[in-house]
A and B are shown apart, each in its own frame.
Chain A
Amino acid sequence: MPIEIPKDSWPGTVNIVTIGATAENGGTRSRTVTVGGEKTLPFLHFEAEIPYPPVTALEIKDRRPDDWSPLLLETWGEVMDNPGSWAKAAEEAGADLLQLSLSLTDKNGNPTTPDTAVAAVKDVLKSSGLPLMVFGPGQAEKDNELLVPIAEATKGERIVLGICEDKNYRTIVATAMANDHLVSGRTPMDVNLAKQLNILIHDMGLPLNRILMDPTTGALGYGIEYGFSAMERLRLAALQGDTMTQLPMIVTPGFEAWKAKEAKVGEDVPKAWGDWLNRAINWETTTAITLMEAGADILVLRHPENVRRVKMAIDELMTIPQTA
């Protein structure tokens, strides 16, 4: 019985974006990371070639965080006291790139200054050859105050600067343009909002091969289904040829999953939740894998074991089925 497999031939392709620059290209990274280029839905090799697999990033901070799960503090240990050491450990854990999230304040509660932020970034760049993403603390004014000097001090490195939101993107985009960097834009789980922000960023003159989009997601159990469907819809729109949705997607399963009570809390929780450490790691794995099936190109994780797991899954998903 010969069967004709229904194949979609999509007119659209996801943009190809390269993060980081080696010495040849004006940076200091030991390698670069390239994502995007999909002409079909995630891992459907029978429909089109998938040029670049998704990649894993590990999130590190400029100092030991106050609000991370004790399990993560234990896992990373002393390296958390120094962004350079943390970056090195993250590279050793197998991450493809790093996301440095800047804190609002130092450990004594004083506001993070541009000088210390720049120093942290330089420390990371010196300690690890991986491509880098640098995200501000998430308050418009502070983000701009810190990201501009960072962008200037690292001109040419092709760092991803974040986060651009509808209320705060101009300064970040401008400095990315001036200093040969990239940006990541975030919108709350909505195809039209994502499109609008992408248009605004692109209209400022930043080429599309220097923009990533973060469609926002919730953790497993805390709204992941909204993120999953928003991503599927965005990717379908991209393949159907809607240019302003053809951006590679970055998601933060690490941040989301480790915020969930299941990951954060070990005591006084139902027995049916099982062993704390394994549950927490599984929470992040399940969140990450689900989002990858919906089209994530960059998965920002927090636990090193999940770099191993997600990479294992990527390897297998990139293995072309023999019958295809």
Chain B
Amino acid sequence: MALSGIQIYKLLPQTNCKDCGFPTCLAFAMKLAAKQVELAACPHVSEESKETLAESATPPIRLVTLKSNGHEVKAGNEVVLFRHEKAFYHKPGLLIRLRDDLSTEELKKRVSALEAYAVNYVGISLTIDGYAVEATSGNAETFTSAIKNLREISKRPLILITKNVDIQAAGLGLLEGENPLLYAADNDNWEALADLAKKHNAALVVSGSSLEEVAELTEKIKGKGVEDLVIDHKARRLSDSLMFNTQTRRLALKKNFRPLGFPIISFPGDTDDSAKEGILATQAISKYAGFIVLDTYSPEFIYPLLVLRQNIYTDPQKPIQVQPGVYEINDPKPEDPVLVTTNFSITYFSVANEVEGSGLPAWLVVTDAEGMSVLTAWAAGKFDSERIAKDVTRFKVAEKVTRKLLVIPGHVAVLSGELEEELPDWEIRVGPREAVDIPAFMKQAL
């Protein structure tokens, strides 16, 4: 965990020799704490202090990256237990499990569907991150052929699932130059799997039924030189996995307990009820999982989870915003109507998507409402008649149109009178309250 300036000062020689370029060791310590200088600038630090400082500089939860040709998925490096304390940084990877005894045809069908899958949420294209191939067959040839079939279609990162070291080795042989994740090392196979992971630069899941068991294993495996570890608590029930995930996160962050300072992997797909799977995945996203392996892959199942992940991992300090300005939708002409909304991403995209979907041309004025929704901005005084009028003028909207018709959101109908005063040569029209009703409104009323 990061040390304070005073704590760092205690580790320095305290001679104030100025060789580092600072007048005192304390001044240097303060700069170090603020990460504005490198420790190397002090030539006199003891080896012991160097180690302590290096240790304190490593993140309490290791960042583990799975890589393949051109794709990667990262987990770890989190610094808080609650997102409001700062933010959650690395969205958990969502990977779909494929069992190697699927027919070639079925496997290719699923992977093709998933590769084609992308859903647009507030202008961001959301997709799954990769696949977990499980050697259900217990046969190296079947396993490798499943991986080959998958790799014909997808280049995304992989998790290889089998406790059998020979089968793992066969699978890994096909993934030269990648950094996959191997599932899983336990008390029986850890040495051989650690060697394999080391040889192939793979990350390794460490699986155990108690925190103690996992911690002992991670220490032993680290001793073999494998650092990219991921924890599997074997807990599959909601209350158990919530407990393990919370305890692991707390130990890593509050106690800087290195043996558990790794991302966690969850297997919601281990249940055979897809409703339950969705619930387990929902908990995993909000409560500390780093990689999530799913079996169900239908769009109506994946889409809510992708959105939840996006929501929980947005920075609470910065609402996602779009640039204020005039947006042209469906090639508007001077006689087409002007709609006005705020620059909160969700708001903008709800409106823009509906206008676009209507097929009717319009100008969309996005005001600077400091990234707030219509009603929030209105309540906060960031979307009132004055501000709207100011942006209409600032963006020179009047020069773009011949018909001065301005449509305001139905939720702020109260603004229409004042706006008429602020923009006397415009006709102000109150639109529907919800964006869904915009197409019908445009067809009928505009």
A residues engaging B (CB < 8 A)? 1-6, 41-46, 188, 220-225, 228-229, 232-233, 236, 259, 261-262, 264-265, 268, 270-276, 278-279, 282-283, 285-286, 289-290, 293-294, 305, 309, 312-313, 316-324
Contacts and interface: CB of A to CB of B under 8 A. Distances in A.
Interface stretch (B184-192, B281-289, B322-330): B281-289
B307 A1 contact: no
Q: Which 7 A-B pairs have the closest CB atoms?
A: A274-B300, A274-B299, A279-B300, A272-B119, A316-B238, A229-B84, A225-B311
Given A225-B314, A229-B84, A289-B283, A44 B299 contact: no
B253 to A, nearest CB: 9
Contact of A43 (B83, B242, B298): B242
B148 interface: no
B239 A45 contact: yes
Interface residues of B, number: 60
A312 B300 contact: no
Interface string B313-343: 0101000000000000000000000000000
A286 B84 contact: no
Which of A224, A265, A274 lies at the interface centre, i.e. has the most chain B CB atoms within 10 A of its CB?
A274
A262 B210 CA distance: 40
B299 A271 contact: yes
A321 B233 CA distance: 13
Contacts of B83: 225, 228-229, 232
26 contacts: A1-B215, A6-B247, A6-B254, A6-B255, A43-B238, A43-B239, A44-B243, A46-B243, A220-B304, A229-B83, A270-B119, A270-B120, A271-B299, A272-B117, A272-B119, A272-B120, A273-B119, A274-B303, A278-B300, A286-B305, A290-B282, A293-B242, A309-B279, A313-B238, A317-B242, A318-B239
A233 B275 CA distance: 29
A49 to B, nearest CB: 13
Which of A41, A259, A290 lies at the interface centre, i.e. has the most chain B CB atoms within 10 A of its CB?
A290
A319 B239 CA distance: 6
A273 B303 contact: yes
A312 B279 contact: yes
Given A282-B301, A285-B304, A289-B283, 19 more contacts: A3-B257, A5-B250, A6-B254, A45-B239, A220-B304, A222-B346, A223-B373, A228-B286, A232-B83, A259-B434, A272-B118, A272-B299, A273-B299, A275-B299, A279-B300, A282-B300, A293-B242, A293-B286, A305-B275
A316 B239 contact: yes
Contacts of B240: 321-323
Which of B238, B240, B346 lies at the interface centre, i.e. has the most chain A CB atoms within 10 A of its CB?
B238
B216 A317 contact: no
Interface of B: 82-84, 117-121, 210-212, 215-216, 219, 235, 237-240, 242-243, 246-247, 250-251, 254-255, 257, 259, 275-276, 278-279, 282-283, 286-287, 298-305, 307-308, 311-312, 314, 316, 346, 350, 357, 373, 376, 379, 434-436
A274 B82 contact: no
A41 B210 CA distance: 22
A221 B311 contact: yes
A3 B212 CA distance: 6
A324 B436 contact: no
A177 B13 CA distance: 69
A274 B117 CA distance: 11
A247 to B, nearest CB: 19
Contacts of B219: 1
A323 B210 contact: yes
B287 A293 contact: yes
Contacts of B237: 316, 319, 321
Contact of A285 (B117, B247, B282, B350): B282
A63 B250 CA distance: 49
A313 B279 contact: yes
Nearest to A283: B304
Nearest to B116: A272
